[in-house]
Chain A
Amino acid sequence: MRLDLARMGGGLTGLLVLLACLAAGEGVVAVSGLPIPGAVPGMLLLYAILLYRRRVGEGLATVSAGLLGWLGLFFVPAGVGIVAFAELLRPVALEIAVVMVASTLITLLVTALAMVLLMARAARRRSR
């Protein structure tokens, strides 16, 4: 008897693919000892699979769009954890705040400007 995943419900196959890639990524991290979360090699694995198959299944498209549309919701527990660190942060709060704001804005601008300049340079080279 052939196992028909599509008949289990399209979204379910999408969830299975995501969890399988996540598990494989966690395996890579466990074996290699790299200081990265398993989701990163998991994402690269799914990316490689999609590049090879050249199509996104309906279930995977549905589940991915749902998860990514709610990405902000998944950060709420980690964010609320700030409460536990209030005492730790108080003495150096101002310095840390300055670093957070300035470093974020600098990184944002430098990266965006580098991308714009490098794209313009590449375009000039092509037109030459």
Chain B
Amino acid sequence: MSAGLTAASWLLATVLVYALCRALHLRLGRPWWLIPVLPTLGVMIALVVVLDVEVEGYLAATWPLHFLLGPATVAIAVPLYLATTRLVPVLWPALGALLVGCLAGIGSAVGLAWLLGLSGETLLSLAPRAVTTPIAIGISERIGGLPALTAVVVIVSGVIGAVAAPPLLRAFRIQDPRAQGLAIGVAAHGIGTAQAFELSPEAGAFAGLAMGLNGALTALLLGGVLA
């Protein structure tokens, strides 16, 4: 197959599988355990492994999708702006909860890793666990972690957070969409934010805000502490 045909086929397969998973998700009434990205990841990983394809080849083919994370992150400003009138009354509680959540995110990851006997590069790779993937990789590089391990941990954490958030928040009777969104954005970055938009636009806007600010705050805190 030509390189162009291979790339187009992988792109087509990825978007097609995602579209089918999304349609199934909507048909089943949006169950929290079947967010479209999960079964899509399962199918695409299985395809790459079964067909014995170089992962680098798949990543090169689907680079346009990965690139869209940039404009999509910028686009979060739109629902954020639309939610601003709702943000103003809770500005100080939101900033306070962000700082608490940021410290909890770094502290719980580093503390648990240390308790379990992890150290050195592995421990440092886990420190930016809660942060959006591109920021987390940058932090990991600067503080002496393994960027590859950080990328994996952050993505899986995002899936865990997105899957666990709705039932966990329900169990603790946290019904305020602002608290839901803020917590999901701080704990589960972009994958969580996608899930928060499924809960409500307001939860999504707060998740996006929390994800962006938590990324910058974590970078400054970790960089400052280790400098």
Within the complex, the shortest CB–CB distance from A121 to chain B, in Å, comes to 7
Using CB atoms, name the residue of chain B closest to A63: B75
CA distance A98 to B155 in the complex (A): 15
**1/0 contact trace for A86-128 toward B, CB 8 Å?**
0011001001101111111111111111111011011000000
In which size bucket is the chain A interface? 35 or more
Q: Is the CB of B108 within 8 A of A106?
A: yes
* CB-defined contacts of A73 to chain B, threshold 8 Å: 14-15, 18, 36-37, 40, 65
Q: Is the CB of B187 within 8 A of A107?
A: yes
Q: Assuming the A-B contacts A37-B134, A43-B73, A80-B48, are A111 and B18 also in contact, with contact meaning beta carbons closer than 8 angstroms in the complex?
A: no
Q: Is the CB of A108 within 8 A of B184?
A: yes
Count chain B CB atoms within 10 A of each CB in A34, A65, A109 and give the residue with the most. Answer: A109
Count chain B CB atoms within 10 A of each CB in A63, A98, A112 and give the residue with the most. Answer: A112
Does residue A1 face the partner (Cβ distance < 8 Å to B)? Answer: no
**1/0 contact trace for A13-51 toward B, CB 8 Å?**
001001101100100000000111111101110110011
Does residue A9 face the partner (Cβ distance < 8 Å to B)? Answer: no
For B, the interface residue count at a CB cutoff of 8 angstroms equals 108
Task: Give the residue of A43, A70, A72, A80 whose beta carbon is less than 8 angstroms from that of B35.
Answer: A72
Q: Assuming the A-B contacts A84-B55, A121-B93, are A103 and B49 also in contact, with contact meaning beta carbons closer than 8 angstroms in the complex?
A: no
Using CB atoms, name the residue of chain A closest to B148: A85
**1/0 contact trace for B166-208 toward A, CB 8 Å?**
0011001010101110111011101101100100000010001
Q: Is the CB of B179 within 8 A of A119?
A: yes
Task: Give the residue of B117, B135, B158, B183 whose beta carbon is less than 8 angstroms from that of A112.
Answer: B183
Within the complex, the shortest CB–CB distance from A13 to chain B, in Å, comes to 13
A residues at B contact (CB < 8 Å): 15, 18-19, 21-22, 25, 34-40, 42-44, 46-47, 50-51, 56, 60-61, 63-65, 67-85, 88-89, 92, 95-96, 98-116, 118-119, 121-122
17 new A-B contacts at CB < 8 Å, known A40-B216, A99-B126: A37-B70, A37-B134, A43-B212, A65-B78, A74-B65, A76-B18, A76-B44, A79-B155, A83-B45, A98-B112, A98-B116, A99-B116, A108-B186, A111-B210, A112-B179, A112-B180, A115-B182
B residues at A contact (CB < 8 Å): 14-15, 18, 35-37, 40-41, 44-45, 48-49, 55-56, 58-59, 62-63, 65-66, 68-82, 84, 90, 92-94, 96-98, 100-101, 104-105, 108-109, 112-113, 116-118, 122, 126, 129-130, 132-135, 138-139, 141-142, 146, 148-149, 151-153, 155-161, 164-165, 168-169, 172, 174, 176, 178-180, 182-184, 186-188, 190-191, 193-194, 197, 204, 208, 210, 212, 215-216, 219, 223
